[in-house]
Structure 1
Amino acid sequence: MKSGLKRVAVTGVGLVTPAGIGATPTWKTVCAARATAATDQDLAGLPVTFSCRIPNLDAATIPGQTPWRHDRYTRLALLAAREAVADANMDTSSWGDTRVAVILGSAAGGITTYEQQHAKLLTAGYGSISPLTLPAFLPNMAAGQLAIELNVRGPSLHTATACASGATAIMTASQLLRDDLCDIAIAGASDCMVTRMCTAAFAKMGALSRRNREPEAASRPFDTERDGFVLSEGAGVLVLERSADAAARRARPYAMLDGCAATSDAHAVTAPDPEGQGLHRAIQLALAEAGATAGDVDHVNAHGTGTLLNDRIEAGVLSRLFAETAPSVTSAKGTLGHTMGAAGAIEAALTVLTLGHGLAPPTANLTTVDPAARSLNLVLGAARPQRMGLALSASSGFGGHNAVLAFGRAE
């Protein structure tokens, strides 16, 4: 396993998901395998009329003086980042010229603002649109607003690799730390693609579950009855710092980010490589950077979307790589739905919590395991206590993006 001064420690976690605002309610709901999908009145009249929405979200909970200026995805990022920084016991007012970086990912940026303002332009004309449209819509604005809110003066940037965006952001942050380009990194992702246009577009592609009469049973990763993913929203943010710096301030890390890798399928825009070669290689590269082998892996937080292709191909990759060791495997999307660009960050946070608690969460709605996944050690029914030394979080996205993060247990 990796050792030395350049290990990256995870010292703070922040989550905003359909399971609740905060890491604690999210973790409890995921461990209980309680699905959050429900009928969504905003989607009435579309082929798919349900989603996973964040409960009890209102402007009063959003940091800053002018939350109404922000798109929903920026608000979620601010909430998650505030929790992560507080969890890391950091005082942002003292940062000044401290070398702090912000790296946030998103698949669609402020798509809610864009759709709302475009509708106004079409129905009421130029005079009706807001002058804040672009500052709210541009994808980099969550990172920019977070830098302003947290007094960050180091690098701030946006990553966009579709549903792998969050994992890509965390990987980028770890590289900045290892290259000594910052001392603290606030990294993660946010997305709010539960809109009429996005829902209609995904439905047109045949990517979404059509279980309108039983939405709570719709997201079924690795299940024989799966018929597509459930559109969701959320944000996940981690605080990262070099392990030596964390030790110097007596921080207690959740875990160590020991390895990362990214690959491209070079196959198709919306379909994964049939053999999963890109994902396979990303896992191998992440393990190599961590100084580990497949035999060292105790747990895998799979991408596990609940689509026919992804689950079959991902199961095949995991079955081949871990044929002799059978680490526990889970997918949070049965509970949370697919949070799109935020998924990699949310699932990285859950992987960190899995290591910290020594508890592998189950996959909600997984009742009959697909034949392609029967060789996997899937966590079914209830959360499973397990001592773990190394856990992987795997993400993939349209465009053929793959990103894998290897987290080691904090000593």
Structure 2
Amino acid sequence: MRVKCISCWIISIFIGFVSVCTVTSQVIIEEVPSDKAAIVGDSEAVLTCRVSAEVPHLISWTLDGIPISSNEKVAEELKSKYTIKNKYDLAVKNVQLEDAGPYACNQNLPDTKFIGIAELNVYGEIVCAEDTIIKMENDSISLECLVGFVGDDKYIPKFAWDLNGKLITSTFANKTFQGKTKFVESGISLVAIPEMDGGIISCHYKVPAESGGVMIADRCRRKVVVKYAARKPSILMDSDDVTDLERLYDKDKHVILTCTSMGNPVPRYTWSYKQLPTRKNIQITEPVEKDLKSNSGVLDLGFVNINHTGVYTCKAINIHNRATVESEVILKVIISGKSSTYTCIVAGITCTVFGGVIGFVVAIGIISALAYWVFKLHKKIYKMRKQESSQGNPSDTRSSRCPSNDEAVSFMASTPGEDVELQQNTYNLV
């Protein structure tokens, strides 16, 4: 009887051992915890611990050894902070700095096993300058960014700065501690220039994950406003920059002058006009300046005529200018056909030459004709002197050098078809 009981006891132990091994093999770890990051104020941060099992089991979370949950159940006093999702992810609600720390996931049944640990790193919101940075030109700009952090030191944020996407070198960086919280600070120092006006200065950080990619990133953007005096304006005509140049236009061409100047606040514009002498109003000797109406620097002259010939001056000013800044363009209107034009700059003086090719050809023709006439005259004199010498009747030296008026007239009359009409080669310098 005792032997039979001993046999039953041995068999029951063996069956129990086999059943335990079978149960243990049926608990499958699908995903172990990994380090996470969150920003203060996030609605939740989820720490992963995925387990599947077909037998009774117990999975728990702890923080610094303090129990948080058992399977789907969270300790009563912690329900406002934690909840369990997806068998058995731990969700930390309404994240704060004090929620940071090492969270461990453990298996307690059917046997005890450490599954993994996740470091929750919590970052405060970036503290940076006022929403809009307003400076005068040449003022100094000093900006700082600061963030609080609780977590593993390998995840301490490092700031970078940029202006409109272009990197800026930080001028200082600092770290301070307050309890478990580490405060990381960075700053830059710049000089305000007009090119910064309307730009965006950004301080930002990225924290890489051990598995690759970015674990967390945050940035602070601030708009920059730089106030400065109006600059020398530019004058556009038919999309061409004609600032301080001279231009020729055919009569009845529609001409619009556009004046633009950089400045903050936006400059105000005024136009003035001085009429220049023309063939029809040659009596004008002292041009009188007249103010013209314009709309935001745009001056529409309409279809121009000879009376539009003159100097057009655009003046720009804003509250930061001591005096107006100005540019001008000289407009000349021609009545007849189109002329070929080109613009040249010699010794800093701007000019426009019209009909250059035609004038050059005419000048060459005149010079050639004069040279031919002089050659013929010289040949005529030479023959006369030779004839007088052969007759032994030398004439006065002065008369032998130069023909008399009658001889010159006789020579010109004796060369029909060789008359030359002298033409004036005219260049319109604009």
Interval of TM-score (by shorter of Structure 1 and Structure 2): under 0.3
Indicate the structure whose relative CO is greater, using CA pairs within 8 Å and at least 6 residues apart: 1
The TM-score, its normalising length taken from structure 1, stands at 0.21
The TM-score, its normalising length taken from structure 2, stands at 0.20
Structure having the higher strand fraction is 2
Largest Rg, 1 or 2: 2
